[in-house]
Amino acid sequence: MQQKLLLIGVDGVRLDIVRKENHAPNINRILNNGSSAEMTMEVPTISGPGWSSILTGTTHAQHGVQDNTFRGNRLYECPDFLTRAAVAHPMMKTVAASSWPPLVDPAGPGPVIATRNDQIISCHHRLVVRDGETYGYRLADSEIARFAVISISNDPADASFIYLGEVDEVGHLYGGISEEYESALSRVDEHVGEILDAVERRSSNHPDEDWLVCITTDHGHLDEGGHGGADPVLRRSFFGALRLGARSSDQYSFESMRPEQIAGWMLRHLDTPIQ
């Protein structure tokens, strides 16, 4: 049995908007058909520290990221979940693709996902970066999602992270209860659906693959837009996990989750393959 792990990160998504009728059907596909739990994010509710906790399995105090400058971080002491998977399984292939460069770009602040040049050279690790900050997240997310679909369809990695950022960008511009915010959520949800469909097609054609698709967000948005504080709407997050493929009838279960628990929980899918 080949274990496959995919984490989809959607930035700045409010769970109450996701749960509105006819909103985000594909995100809800994961939350409703697998296992899910609400999650409380640490303050400050900012992308840098939030994603650092989710991806490395450590708290703000441990990784030292306090804002989006990443100054004073200790990420070198806190390996991300892809790096941890590669250390445990040296021949494993990993991929990280993001429309927000600091998460994966070795030339920018951070990055949270380690570069691992030797494994890039050996084709066991791949980084894909699009700059949503400069060129807009609608375009950048579309390119990241398209890459994910092609990768999953043709030569999927064993462990992957895909990040989509348009919802957060629009939340800053128009607020968390605006029509524009809901429209951005719908577009990102369509990308999630395209990725899920690709996994389902892949798993149906490769019955020896056991896929775990997870999804989460790093913070919410105020009604008027913005985040960073301790307001409940900002700290409210979620984590969902859906098993597809060979063991889709055998879903994992959990009743609660914290941001720093996600990485270790997901890695158990890779570390304990079912024979």
Predicted confidence (pLDDT) per residue in 39-62, tens digit: 999 999 999 999 999 999 999 999
How many separate domains does the chain show?
1
CA-to-CA distance for 209 and 237, rounded, in angstroms?
A: 29
CB 203 within 8 A of CB 211: yes
pLDDT digits (tens, 9 = 90+) for 202-240: 999 999 999 999 999 999 999 999 999 999 999 999 999
User: The domain spanning residue 167 has which CATH number?
Assistant: 3.40.720.10
CA-to-CA distance for 57 and 37, rounded, in angstroms?
A: 17
CA-to-CA distance for 257 and 235, rounded, in angstroms?
A: 13
Query: For residue 88, is pLDDT > 60?
Result: yes
pLDDT of residue 1: 81
- In 107-226, the DSSP E strands lie at 125-129, 159-164, 209-216
Task: Centre a 10 Å sphere on the Cβ of residue 88 and count the other Cβ atoms it contains.
Answer: 11
In which domain, by residue range, is 167 found? Answer: 2-271
Cis peptide before 44 (omega within 30 of 0): yes
At residue 130, what are phi and psi to the nearest 5 degrees? -125, 145
Beta carbons within 8 Å of 15's beta carbon, 6+ residues apart: 38, 217, 220, 236, 237, 238
Q: Considering the entire predicted model, what is its pTM?
A: 0.97
| CA-closest candidate to residue 257, choices 13, 38, 34 | 38
CA-to-CA distance for 113 and 56, rounded, in angstroms?
A: 8
